[in-house]
Chain A
Amino acid sequence: QVQLAESGGGVVQPGGSLRLSCAASGFPFSSHALHWVRQAPGKGLEWVAIISYNENSIYHADSVKGRFTISRDNSKNTLYLQMNSLRAEDTAVYYCVRDYYGSGSYGYFDIWGQGTLVTVSS
């Protein structure tokens, strides 16, 4: 069964750090690009970052650039999002998402995890 399972969410103070993980199963992990997408409470979807299958292409949204870092470990079938200098506006459900293609260009998001909630609050 194709599956993505996020973990690592929780409550963190402003300025703090958190590392999200996403464990994949049921498909050739190293063949697909992967994304993080977030959704603030009651709001729409915001794309956060992409990493290609071979890590040659990595992009972050301007809203998180310099604070968040996407990475992957193909030997562990796991995607990561290191989040530093967290702000209240980073409060959201974070989804791990599979891209149908490997490069991430011109692709589409065909598999979504269940999401993990990150709350930034003092």
Chain B
Amino acid sequence: DIQMTQSPSSLSASVGDRVTITCRASQSISTYLNWYQQKPGKAPKLLVYTASSLQSGVPSRFSGSGSGTHFTLTISSLQPEDCATYFCQQSYSPPFTFGGGTTVEIK
């Protein structure tokens, strides 16, 4: 099975800061990497698919990059509504594993 490792597990940043979350795969997954945002009590929401494609309706301050085993999700200017937990997920082969999550808080 492919293991997905996210870092950091949590972070605190100020409004307007640039925030970067990292996800590493235990083997190459090409660009079959997706990012989701989950707010408390809500279902996850797709943000970025195939590593760098922004889902329709997602603000352009979100971006994804990477390939192979190393991926990043960047929020260019953190906003209060971005407080949430972010998960990466590989869709290269089943089981379609998720990273452990990164909780983003406003400082």
Q: Which of B49-69 contact A (CB under 8 A)?
A: 49-50, 55
Interface residue count on the B side (C-beta < 8 Å): 25
Q: What residues of A have a CB within 8 angstroms of the CB of B1 in the complex?
A: 62
Q: Quick check: is A11 within 8 A (CB to CB) of the other chain? A: no
Residues in A15-40 with C-beta less than 8 Å from chain B: 35, 37
Which of these binds chain A: B16-24, B40-48, B76-84?
B40-48
Complex partner residue of B92 from A37, A62, A106, A112, CB under 8 angstroms = A106
Kindly provide the distance from the CB of A29 to the nearest chain B CB, expressed in whole angstroms: 19
The answer to whether A50 and B43 have CB atoms under 8 Å apart is no
Partner pick for B44 among A59, A107, A112, CB 8 A cutoff:
A112
Which among A45, A50, A115 is the interface contact of B89 at CB below 8 angstroms? A45
Q: How far is the CA of A37 from the CA of B45 in the complex (A)?
A: 13
Q: Tell me how far the C-beta of A111 lies from the nearest C-beta in chain B, rounded to whole angstroms.
A: 8
Taken together as a complex, chains A and B put the C-alpha atoms of A61 and B45 apart, in Å, by 22
Chain B residue numbers with a CB within 8 Å of A107 are: 91
Q: Answer whether residue B98 sits at the interface, using C-beta atoms and an 8 A cutoff.
A: yes
- Cβ–Cβ contact B91 & A45, under 8 A: no
Please tell me the number of chain A residues within 8 Å of chain B, measured between CB atoms.
23
Contact present for A106 and B45 (CB under 8 Å): no
**Complex CA–CA separation, A106 to B86 (angstroms):** 20
CA distance A59 to B97 in the complex (A): 13
Interface mask (B82-107 → A, CB under 8 Å = 1, otherwise 0): 00000101011111111111000000
How far does the alpha carbon of A45 sit from the alpha carbon of B37 in the complex, in Å?
Answer: 11
The distance from the CB of B66 to the nearest CB of chain A, in whole angstroms, is 15
**Interface on B for A, CB 8 Å cutoff?**
1, 32, 34, 36, 38, 43-46, 49-50, 55, 87, 89, 91-101
Nearest first, the 10 A-B pairs at minimum CB distance are: A108-B49, A112-B43, A59-B94, A45-B98, A108-B34, A47-B96, A44-B101, A61-B95, A110-B46, A106-B32
A residues whose Cβ falls under 8 Å from a Cβ of B:
35, 37, 44-47, 50, 59, 61-62, 95, 100, 104-110, 112-115
